[in-house]
Amino acid sequence: MLCPSSRGTLEDSLLIGVVTSHADGPRVVSTERALPVTPEILALAEPAGPSEVFRFASPCQTGRCPHFRNEACQLAVRSVELLDAVSESLPPCSIRPQCRWFRQEGAAICKRCPQVVTDQYHPSSTMIQIVTGINPAPAPAALGSYSSRNATIGSNLAARRAGIQAAPNATAASAATASARVHGSFGFTP
Ligand code: SF4
């Protein structure tokens, strides 16, 4: 099984998506196929971290991951509980048959998955709750919204540089990307 929101490493990760911006927040556009992670791909994210602008999949760590309890990934459980769907149908995805979240939660998690960015600087209170399982105090308005820190980076630009091909029916949003390194992460290393 693959964790669909891990940190990208050269050893065992696959590139599965590119973060793009959307009026309602970040949206991950799936790559046409899962791609081996190379030093060149990781370097494309600079000055951001790779998991700020890309989504990676890696082998699910099950009991070695702090998010895995009761034989389930609790990030996926809470994402289905707390996030609204952002897709009416199953979005394109290159790893669905191997995805831990899909195996566990079915279509409900796929319809929410495109809004998940692995590393976020200014996560919403909902995202903090998903990662930590704790309902945080309301964040100051300035910190509660989607960050434009990396707006100059442009994940679409990075994707073009890499020759990364989005899935045919994926809808790419505009170029500016953003996101952030949290107090936690969707990745298995908090
Ligand atoms: S879209 Fe569904 S199958 Fe694909 S990574 Fe997200 S949760 Fe897994």
4 lines ligand 1 (CB under 6 A): yes
| CA 141 to ligand 1 centroid distance, Å | 30
**Residues 5-60: tens digit of each pLDDT:** 999 999 999 999 999 999 999 999 999 999 999 999 999 999 999 999 999 999 99
Q: For residue 32, give its domain range.
A: 2-162
Distance CA 51, CA 72 (A): 23
Which ligand 1 atom sits closest to the C-alpha of 96?
3
Cβ–Cβ < 8 Å for 41, 15: yes
Query: For the segment 116-152, what is each residue's pLDDT rounded down to a tens digit?
Result: 999 988 888 999 999 999 887 765 554 433 444 433 3
For the chain, give the longest Cα–Cα distance: 42
Three-class secondary structure of residue 35 per DSSP = strand
In a domain, 73, yes or no: yes
What backbone torsions phi and psi does residue 5 show, to the nearest 5 degrees?
A: -145, 65
Q: What is the pLDDT of residues 143-172, one digit of tens each?
A: 433 444 433 344 445 555 556 666 665 543
Asked if residue 34 is part of any domain, the answer here is yes
Q: Is residue 182 part of a domain?
A: no
Please tell me the predicted confidence (pLDDT) of residue 20. 95
Q: For the chain, how many structural domains are there in total?
A: 1
